[in-house]
Structure 1
């Protein structure tokens, strides 16, 4: 089969087309013919940083975590999937799991689900990593109907899904963005836009919560921005973040009695830990999509498998709006 290989890591490491052996299905897994895959920030980090990241595969490597496609073969013990089923998931491209930048991949059946009937393969491929992350963060933070929720980075990959899911769960959603396009997308998705470049945290907390703060803050920016999340949260509030590889003064969180939830959705794949939970979340997400509660936003630029290097560059440029998707 055709695959795009990374033979060495680095900032501009090249993807090379290669003819590699088609993988063979094994027990508990399915063989999927890949229709589309999407690029996530962690994919670009693996390519750039290589073995500095403990989750990077040995080279030559087939990267790509997210995919949608059609089941071509079913391994022993798999009962939920049949040949011809259209599926989606996040099931490779790290550690010892070959990824989706190829014609076929073998995926653990616990890490996939049937794709939503109302989504294209491209749309389905855009969802798994970001949607599982958003769902897990909101669930761990105990989202409830009627809460005021702030999403930092609501036009980004994880953020635009968290915003829609929070709306679906009955919350009143506000979201930060840094430009007209970003704020327009936030409003289009049903959130109230906040321009973090022109409004201070104190100003928008006063304006939207009468100074009380937000019940739940979903921070898809993280890092230094977590101090803004602590400031924006209500007393005894909940903060969920996807980026916490930093040193921070937790004093503000202490005096407000905040709960901090760190979401690292790769744990089930990396450690073979409760993988079935990802399949379960993906089933729920497909149902939410079919009910009209979630629709991924795709970047306007299209890329073929041969152009995957350009797809990575597009995401890294910061100019993409929505998910960058590769047509396999």
Structure 2
């Protein structure tokens, strides 16, 4: 099969189009014919060796954790799926090796769910990691109807999903972003606030009594401002700043694969409550350029690689 691989850590130039064996399928896995795979910032971090202290790496590595495609073969014990099913998933395994930037990927069934019918393969590929991160952090924060949530980095991949998911549970959403993305946030249903100097005052003008939840998807020391923004008993959850754990009720979160959570994201998408903005679609052989686009950080939506 054709696959993007790298045999050493480094920049985007280490990514090469190569021929690799079609992966074997374990008893609780399926073989997915990949139709699209998305790039996430963590993919650049993994490629550079940033997760070596946490996960073993087996070269050559096929990068990528997000996928949308069609089940080609099922393992011995997979009653949940059948050949021909359209699926999407966050195919993160316990080691770094066989990813989604290839014609086929072997995916544990716990990492997959049926693709939402309302989304194209390219759109569906942009959901799993970012969508699960938003969904799981909102759940850990205990956000509910009638509460107010402040989303830092609300126009980014995770943040834009968090705005929509929070709205779907009946929460009021205040979102921070750059000036050029404020109208985009309004379109998602958030009350936009420009980040930068004076942020606390601008948020307090909208929520004088404070917010119930702060979701930090941006970093840059924003967790340190949370005590000035939270109402009594409020919660802060961050995916980028471990200092969140030092605050009362604070959470520093990591995302995990979950077929049931993916199914809920698919339900929201099919109900028209969750949309995906795809910024660029490139071909498999242009994966290095896809990594460079994400590294540049100029796009608003997802960068997706299509596998023909």
| Correspondences of 1:1-328 after superposition (within 5 Å) | 1-49=1-49, 52-55=52-55, 57-92=57-92, 95-180=95-180, 182-197=181-196, 199-201=198-200, 203-210=201-208, 212-222=209-219, 224-245=221-242, 250=246, 253=247, 258-266=248-256, 278-299=258-279, 301-328=280-307
1:39-85 deviations in Å (ceiling 9; x for gaps): 11110101123564433622210010000000001111101101100
CA 1:237–1:13 in structure 2 vs 1: closer, same or farther (change >3 Å)? same
Identify if the C-alpha distance between structure 1 residues 75 and 93 changes in structure 2 by more than 3 Å, giving closer, same or farther.
closer
TM-score, scaled to structure 2: 0.94
Question: Is the 8 Å Cα contact of residues 6 and 61 (structure 1) preserved in structure 2?
Answer: yes
- The worse-fitting range, judged by mean Cα deviation, of 191-200 and 37-46 is 191-200
Equivalent pairs, count: 307
More strand by share: 2
Q: Partner of 1:274 in structure 2?
A: none
- The secondary structure found in structure 1 opposite 2:60 is coil
Distance 1:231 1:53 in 2: 35
Q: Provide the secondary structure at the position in 2 that maps to 1:288.
A: helix
> Alignment partner of 2:176: what SS?
strand
Secondary structure of 1:129's match? helix
- Give structure 1 stretches of 5+ with no counterpart: 269-277
Could you tell me how far 1:97 is from its partner in structure 2?
A: 4.8
SS in 2 for 1:49: coil
User: In the aligned structure 1, how far is the partner of 2:298 from the partner of 2:160?
Assistant: 15
SS in structure 2 of the partner of residue 259 of structure 1: coil
- For the aligned residue pairs, the C-alpha RMSD in angstroms reads 1.8
Distance in 1 between residues matched to 2:158 and 2:53, nearest whole Å: 21
Distance 1:309 1:93 in 2: 22
Find the counterpart in structure 2 of residue 275 from structure 1.
none
Q: Gapped runs of 5+ residues in structure 2?
A: none
Whether the 8 Å contact between 2:59 and 2:97 is mirrored in structure 1 is no
Q: Distance in 1 between matches of 2:51 and 2:110?
A: 27
Distance in 2 between residues matched to 1:197 and 1:45, nearest whole Å: 26
Aligned counterparts of 1:51 and 1:220: Cα–Cα separation in 2: 19
Q: 1:231: how far off?
A: 2.4
- Counterpart CA distance in 1 for 2:217 and 2:299 is 16
In the alignment, is the contact (CA less than 8 A) between 2:45 and 2:51 conserved in 1?
no
Give the SS at the match of 1:146.
coil
Q: Indicate the larger mover: 49-58 or 65-74.
A: 49-58
